[in-house]
Amino acid sequence: MTVAAVVVSYNRKDLLRKCLTAIAGQVPAPDEIILVDNGSTDGSLELVREEFPQVTLFETGANIGGAGGFAWGVELAIAKGHDYAWLMDDDAEPAENSLAPLLEVVAKADVPPGFLASAVKDESGRELNPGHLPAVDSSAEKQMTARSMGCIAITHATFVGVLVNLRLASTMPLPHRDFFIWLDDAEYTRRLARAAIGLFVPESVVKHPVKAANPDMAGRLFYYVRNHLWLAKLDTEARGLVQSVPAKAAHLLMFALSVLPSSQSKKVWAGALARGLWQGLTKAPRDVMPGELLAVSGRQLP
């Protein structure tokens, strides 16, 4: 079994150094570290070449968002023949020996999990990060399976230290690049959990800064609204649900109205909301299967 650590980075040089140092120090270490850089201009590329020459560097050439970066990361890890990919943002910092517990669960599992998620904690490594709490699965059967391995069954996870089963991933579309930012990880890991089981492994810890909520989302309100609607649509199709998308649209409208007083530009707020609702309701993210990114782009494996 081989594991590739996949990091997506954009202009976070100092945090990237901490992230790569922590990954390289794991025991056992991943078989390969793949860094997908989204056009950094802060010296991150020079840092990697000088201080981490063992890292496989792939430059997208532009900021294609975390979603685009992770789509490329999974694409490369599958193309290189790895069995698992350990996905994380560049501001994540795995604690000492945080990969080992994930691999131990995989080794003793009768049926390979779809993904295994670490406990995401604050920068001190003591308290759970409130922005990355585990989403407990309501299936009693899955909980019994997870409990037999010392884990908790979950429905989805964020791309902060999640170990993805690439054999399963190779059978379904890559993380949706069209999300750009936000919820691409939830959507992708939900697919994996529906196809197999998603596990929360509390012994594995990844530290991540706790970010204060900013009610003025400005233009990012567009991604928030559109992507939540896309997630609702995809869940509706997968589960055969009804009425979830209109209800979600109404909820998002109420949310947008609640942050309106905090928005510095009401024009930006209105435009982002309108575009988010329109695209969320009338469009959908495109499916891209593993292998297609390399084939269409003509890029070679790094």
Domain that holds residue 11: 3-211
- Is 82 exposed, middle or buried (CB count within 10 Å of its CB: 0-12, 13-18, 19+)? buried
Nearest one of 162, 216, 220, 221 to 186, comparing CA atoms:
162
Same domain, 173 and 231: no
Instruction: From first to last of the 302 residues of the chain, give the pLDDT tens digit.
Output: 999 999 999 999 999 999 999 999 999 999 999 999 999 999 999 999 999 999 999 999 999 999 999 999 999 999 999 999 999 999 999 999 999 999 999 999 999 999 999 999 999 999 999 999 999 999 999 999 999 999 999 999 999 999 999 999 999 999 999 999 999 999 999 999 999 999 999 999 999 999 888 889 999 999 999 999 999 999 877 666 555 788 899 999 999 999 999 999 999 999 999 999 999 999 999 999 999 999 999 999 99
User: Does the residue 287 lie in any domain?
Assistant: no
Same domain, 16 and 150: yes
Calculated CA dihedral for residues 235, 112, 76, 134, nearest 10 degrees: 50
Total structural domains within the chain: 2
Same domain, 83 and 166: yes
Same domain, 142 and 174: yes
First to last CA, the chain: 21
Check: CB of residue 105 under 8 Å from CB of residue 199.
yes
Residue where one domain finishes, among candidates 211, 232, 249: 211
Same domain, 241 and 106: no
